[in-house]
Every structure is written in structure tokens, then in C-alpha cells.
């Protein structure tokens, strides 16, 4: 075989070996989707939410899936920190000897909850303005875990002083539980971890827009309470969240629960004025 023929043959072999699918380019929506999926499956929900947010900087094939799932993650992250803060606030009242660590944990978690709730309400406003989809995709599998209350939060609420390690674990577990509950709520099977796990098994599930908006309304109302005078004392924020709750309810099916929620919103808005 001549030298030229050998070079041609080697070149052809190299081309054939490199003809597989091109690797996903960093910084693209596909890259962030894969990264979000990986972190979600690892239980790193803050990182997954952050990466889903980067997908939403442009309109792309992942936008609808990222938009819905980021709302669920932000809802769970905010609620998890809110529950930890509430338990430690109760603990500070019970532990007269050394309430300082409890108060610090309360303040830190309320600050984190405020951050995630603020992101949530901003993302929901964008969701409401996006093209209307009758079915909302729930593209990730259900998070693992149990909907049962955490004994560690009950312990903190009694004023028993946990170690720093215990506080970290409690915070992590509370967030993971709240993400699970947010997923159940968004899927229309409130507090039913077994059912939502079955529903989202294929990874290509969807829920009606009415069901999803009902979940968003309930979430916004809970977050509004975070800014009430007994918590963070931000009436401007509380009012904004209550108004957004009303907006979410416009797209949800009317029911006994939605009527009761409207009455609560009206009462809360009057108390702020």
C-alpha cells in the first residue's frame, strides 16, 4: 500500500471514529437541563433550581418544562425554610436559658425563605404571561422521601438544643420533605407521596393548568404569611403576594377551597390597609 493510500485510509478511520453525537456545549439550554437533572436526582435542589433558572433566560425547547419544575422547587425551598424557622421560633420561647441559637436559626431560615419566595413570585409572574398551555409538564420523577412530619422539628419546637450538625440535617430534611409536598400539591394529589411517585414514574407526566394554578395560589398565600407583621413585617411584600394569589386563582377551577381562599385574601388585605 502506498504512503498516500495509507494516509487516506487512516483519515477515513479517524472520521468514522469521530462521527458520533457531538458533546453538549457548556452554557446551552441542553447543558443546563442535564446539569439540573443531575443535581435534582442528587437532592441538591438549590443548585437544580439555579440551573433551571438559567434555561429560562431564553425561549427554547426546555423552557416549558424548566418553568414548571423551577416553580415547584422554589415553592419547596421556601416552605422548607419557613417550617424550620417556625419550629425554632417556638423553641426560642420554650428555652428561656439560651434562646439565642434558636433565634439565629429562625432569622437565617426566614431570610432564606424570603429569598426563595421572592424568586417564586417573580417566576410565577413570568409563567402567567407565557403562552397558555392547557397541560403543564411535570418532567422530573417525584422526589424520594416521606410526607410525615419531622421529629427533629418537633424536638426543636420544645426548646431542646440541637447540635450544629443536627440543625444542618434538620434543615436539609425539611427542604427535601417540602419539595416532595410541593410536588404532590402541583400534581393535584396533596400529601400523597405514594401516588405522586406513581404518577411521575415515566418522567413525562402532565397536569391540567387549573390544578397547577390552584397549587400556585395556595403556595403564594402561604408565602404571603412570611411577610406578615408577626414574621418579617413587610406589608408591601405581603400585599404583593396576596394580589398574585388572586391572579393565580383566576385560572383555577372554582371550588369550596378557592372561595375560602378568596375570603382569606380579602380579610388579609383589609388588615394591611
Q: Which residues contact 24 (CB under 8 A, 6 or more apart)?
A: 30, 31, 34
Give yes or no for residue 254 having a pLDDT over 80. yes
Q: What is the 3-state secondary structure (H, E, C) of 82-131?
A: HHHHHHHHHHHHHCCCCCHHHHHHHHHHHHHHHHHHHHHHHHHHHHHHCC
Report the percent of the chain where pLDDT is more than 90: 87
**In this model, does residue 4 exceed pLDDT 70?**
no
Q: By mean pLDDT, which of 15-24, 181-190, 198-207 is the weakest?
A: 15-24
Cβ proximity of 116 and 84 under 8 Å:
no
- 5 falls in which pLDDT band (50, 70, 90)? very low
| Average pLDDT over every residue of 120-145 | 95
| SS3 of the chain: helix, strand, coil, percent, to 5 | 70, 5, 25
Distance CA 178, CA 149 (A): 10
Kindly state the average pLDDT of the residues 131-139. Answer: 94
Query: Residue 221 has what pLDDT?
Result: 98
Question: Is pLDDT above 60 for 18?
Answer: no
Q: What is the pTM of this model?
A: 0.91
Q: Label residue 20 by pLDDT band (50, 70, 90).
A: low
Which of 4-8, 22-26, 34-38, 249-253 is least confident?
A: 4-8
Q: How confident is the model at residue 21 (pLDDT cuts 50, 70, 90)?
A: low
pLDDT for 183 equals: 98
**Average pLDDT of the segment spanning 15-35:** 77
Between the CA atoms of 220, 252, 205 and 143, what dihedral angle is there, to the nearest 10 degrees?
Answer: 20
Query: For 152-157, what is the mean pLDDT?
Result: 96
Q: What is the dihedral of CA 225, 228, 230, 234, to 10 degrees?
A: 140
Beta-carbon contacts of 71 under 8 Å, excluding residues fewer than 6 positions away, are 120, 123, 124, 127, 186, 216
| 8 A C-beta contact, residue 139 and residue 69 | yes
Cell of 31: 447543558
Mean pLDDT for 30-54 is: 97
pLDDT for residue 23: 79
What is the pLDDT averaged over residues 219-225? Answer: 98
User: Taking the domains of the chain in order of start, what are their residue ranges?
Assistant: 26-250+260-267
Provide the β-strand partners of residue 208.
135
Amino acid at each position: 500500500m502506498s504512503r498516500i493510500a495509507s494516509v487516506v485510509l487512516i483519515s477515513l478511520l479517524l472520521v468514522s471514529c469521530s462521527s458520533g453525537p457531538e458533546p453538549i456545549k457548556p452554557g446551552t439550554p441542553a447543558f443546563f437541563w442535564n446539569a439540573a437533572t443531575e443535581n435534582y436526582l442528587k437532592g441538591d435542589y438549590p443548585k437544580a433550581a439555579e440551573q433551571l433558572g438559567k434555561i429560562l433566560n431564553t425561549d427554547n425547547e426546555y423552557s416549558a418544562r424548566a418553568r414548571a419544575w423551577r416553580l415547584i422547587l422554589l415553592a419547596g425551598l421556601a416552605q422548607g425554610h419557613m417550617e424550620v424557622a417556625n419550629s425554632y421560633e417556638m423553641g426560642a420561647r420554650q428555652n428561656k436559658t439560651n434562646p439565642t441559637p434558636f433565634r439565629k436559626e429562625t432569622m437565617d431560615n426566614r431570610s432564606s425563605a424570603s429569598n426563595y419566595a421572592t424568586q417564586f413570585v417573580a417566576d410565577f409572574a413570568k409563567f402567567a404571561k407565557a403562552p397558555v398551555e392547557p397541560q403543564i409538564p411535570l418532567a422530573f420523577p417525584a422526589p424520594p422521601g416521606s410526607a410525615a412530619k419531622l421529629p427533629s422539628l418537633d424536638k426543636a419546637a420544645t426548646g431542646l438544643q440541637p447540635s450544629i450538625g443536627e440543625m444542618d440535617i434538620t434543615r436539609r430534611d425539611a427542604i427535601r420533605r417540602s419539595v416532595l409536598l410541593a410536588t404532590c400539591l402541583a400534581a393535584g394529589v396533596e400529601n400523597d407521596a405514594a401516588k405522586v411517585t406513581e404518577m411521575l414514574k415515566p418522567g413525562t407526566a402532565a397536569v391540567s393548568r387549573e390544578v397547577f394554578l390552584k397549587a400556585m395560589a395556595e403556595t403564594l398565600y402561604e408565602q404571603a404569611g412570611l411577610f406578615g407583621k408577626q414574621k418579617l413585617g413587610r406589608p408591601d411584600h405581603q400585599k404583593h403576594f396576596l394580589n398574585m394569589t388572586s391572579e393565580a386563582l383566576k385560572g383555577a377551577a372554582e371550588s369550596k377551597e378557592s372561595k375560602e381562599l378568596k375570603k382569606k385574601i380579602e380579610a388579609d388585605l383589609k388588615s394591611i390597609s
